[in-house]
Homo-oligomer: A and B are copies of this chain.
Amino acid sequence: MSAVAPETTTTGLREGAFGNAVALSCRECGHRIDLGPHYACPECFGPLEVAYDFPAVTREEIEAGPRNIWRYKALLPVPTDIEQSPNTEPGFTRLLKADNLARELGIDTLWVKDDSTNPTNSFKDRVVACALSAARELGATVFACPSTGNLANAVAAAGARAGIKTVVFIPSNLEQPKQVNSAIFTSNLVAVDGNYDDVNKLAQEIAAEEDGWAFVNVNVRPFYAEGSKTLGFEIAEQLGWRLPDQVVIPVASGSQLTKVDKAFQELIKLGLVEEKPYKIYGAQATGCNPVATAFKAGVDAIRPVKPDTIAKSLAIGNPADGIYVLDSARRSGGAVEEVTDDEIREAIVLLARTEGIFTETAGGTTTAVLKKLVETGQLDPTLETVIINTGHGLKTLDAVSGAVGPAATIAPSYDAFAETGIGQA
């Protein structure tokens, strides 16, 4: 895999290009290399992640920052002037106390972290904003991704606002509304005759052949992934600078879950929250359940599956961070659970009817898994719990369009309405 443009070698970086980040560190062997457009360990091919040398950081400094993810810039691989560079200003989304849903499920205290109100309506705006910063600092001239949905929207929008050329690759059979969602932002939407795996392979090929391309989820992936930590930071700050007892997070590649865990650990280490035990739960669809299967079997090896579920944004059959999800769940005393497509559909309606939040299938998966965890005794309903809603139902309308509709169709008269009985208490 080629790096980005020649002028982007580490030695060409400006001072503080990655803030308090100091190296890329291998999750497997611990080997460290300089910060740059790399994602695999040169020693063992393990995944690289960003390592930091944090200064003292106070709650007051964070609270005085902007009302978006850049309030946590000291804890991200971004320069200190990051908010001066045009970006979509994602984050600091609602943390809603979900008393109605809690009552419905028999839970004492429940919160929904609602990332459907991000700029392009999913948590991807967070990770893409961090990838964009890395691309900029590394001198990339093209900002790109392979995607079937949320990621494509986020990359195309962020690139437009930043004034960097974007190229977004999608499978050519993608439904037209989803194509519009990305094409609205970029003139370089490329439809590829093939499935998502084909598109992904093409992206890797291009990344290897072309200089100056930053593929958010390929060669700047370590920087990209750090953006998910902001979900954990915000949950803690919005709870009044403390950690919840239990958190339920959807699992696609598994990156988000491991980064929320990392965020909680960093907050503890920096003394920004009190140390306490917390349990991390992963949510998958039965139609794409490799991590849940491994968790239940008590094994470490994740056997790839061929996805077949309505939760398409979670449909990664061979999740890169699956083993780290297992580690977080087991170490913390949590679990990884799975639910069927019917349970996902029901949970989308349940969340909407109880809390006024219209989630996509990923959030339906998380909500349904929460319900199952309570019913099976794996999650303690007396402890404070947070679930993460990662995206918006407007993007997966088809999943529920058969399940909800008008209660009645009537003539335009009061008598016709009265006959329906809908007005009765």
A356→B161 contact, CB < 8 A: yes
Looking at the complex, which of A50-58, A203-211, A220-228, A259-267 is the stretch in contact with chain B? Answer: A203-211
Q: Are A407 and B188 in contact (CB under 8 A)?
A: yes
Q: Which residues of B contact A165 (CB under 8 A)?
A: 425
Determine if B187 and A407 form an interchain contact, defined as CB atoms under 8 angstroms apart: yes
Q: A94-B119, A99-B86 are in contact. Are A187 and B353 (CB under 8 A)?
A: yes
Task: Write out the residue numbers on chain B whose beta carbons fall within 8 Å of the beta carbon of A400.
Answer: 180, 184
Q: Which residues in B have their C-beta under 8 angstroms from that of A420? A: 190
User: Which residues of A from 187 to 209 have beta carbons under 8 Å from B?
Assistant: 187-194, 198-199, 201-202, 205-206, 209
Q: Which residue of B lies closest to A160 (CB)?
A: B356
Copies held by the complex: 2
Partner of A184, one of B358, B407, B408: B358
Q: Which residues of B contact A114 (CB under 8 A)?
A: 119
A376 adjacent to chain B (CB < 8 Å)? no
Task: Tell me whether A395 is interfacial, beta carbon within 8 Å.
Answer: yes
Q: Which of A331-389 contact B (CB under 8 A)?
A: 348-349, 352-358
A417 to B142, CA, bound (A): 15
Cα distance A277–B395 in the bound complex, in angstroms = 42
| In contact, B180 and A423 (Cβ under 8 angstroms) | no
Given A349-B184, A401-B180, is A356 in contact with B409 using a C-beta cutoff of 8 Å? no
- With A158-B356, A412-B202 known as contacts, the answer to whether A401 contacts B190 (CB < 8 A) is no
Q: Does A80 contact B (CB under 8 A)?
A: no
Check A423 against B119 for contact (C-beta < 8 Å). Answer: no
Please determine whether A209 and B414 come into contact, CB atoms closer than 8 angstroms. Answer: yes
Q: Which residues of B contact A189 (CB under 8 A)?
A: 404-407
CB-nearest residue of chain B to A402: B180
9 A-B Cβ contacts within 8 A? A119-B357, A120-B358, A121-B392, A160-B354, A177-B397, A179-B405, A184-B404, A185-B353, A193-B409
